[in-house]
């Protein structure tokens, strides 16, 4: 579901802001990490909401923000939950991601692409060994690699 929000600014430039909400039901896929008996891995699908920041002149996406629409219960695998002192579930409180985009120009052939400039995320999980995890990434020095190919008939 999409809706137009109040206009915003990025780096002093006016932008269009579009709110969105995924309508698919939230699902969580939980697995044990192979070779690490005290670790689990989980993927959350659906139940997200966010904002898309768009350049009004070119309609290029300049920023994408996304987060959970509410708390998400994470049921631990049975084998993990049976361990002494381990809760049978955790709660994902926040799972926020923000990606900023910028134009990157390449030569030979001349081409400009909109690519990620930076990304940051914050994940807060009650009942986890690492309850808070913040990740920040800066992207720079993009390079393009061109190659050729040929089909060899048998």
Per-residue burial over 110-132, b = 16 or more CB atoms within 10 Å of its CB, e = otherwise? eeeeeeebebebbbbbeebeeee
At which residue do the structure tokens 């300049």 appear?
A: 62
pLDDT given at position 30: 85
Euclidean distance between CA atoms 105 and 124, whole angstroms: 37
What value does the mean pLDDT take over residues 50-57? 96
What is the pTM for the complete model shown? 0.79
The answer to whether residue 109 scores a pLDDT higher than 70 is yes
| pLDDT tens string 66-75 | 999 888 888 7
The first and second tokens of residue 84, run together, are 């002494």
The answer to whether residue 83 scores a pLDDT higher than 70 is no
What value does the mean pLDDT take over residues 57-66? 95
Element (H, E) at 81: helix 78-81
């Amino acid at each position: 579901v999409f809706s137009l929000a109040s206009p915003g600014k990025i780096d002093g430039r006016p932008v269009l802001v579009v709110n969105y909400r995924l309508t698919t039901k939230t699902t969580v896929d939980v697995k044990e990490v192979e070779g690490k008996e005290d670790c689990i891995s989980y993927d959350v699908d659906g139940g997200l909401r966010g904002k898309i920041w768009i350049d009004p002149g070119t309609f290029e996406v300049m920023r994408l923000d996304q987060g959970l629409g509410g708390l998400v219960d994470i049921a631990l695998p049975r084998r993990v939950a049976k361990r002494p002192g381990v809760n049978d579930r955790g709660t994902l409180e926040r799972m926020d991601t923000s990606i900023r985009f910028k134009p990157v120009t390449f030569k030979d052939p001349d081409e400009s692409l909109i690519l990620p400039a930076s990304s940051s995320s914050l994940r807060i999980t009650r009942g986890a060994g690492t309850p808070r995890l913040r990740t920040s990434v800066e992207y720079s020095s993009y390079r393009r690699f061109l190659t050729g190919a040929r089909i060899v008939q048998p």
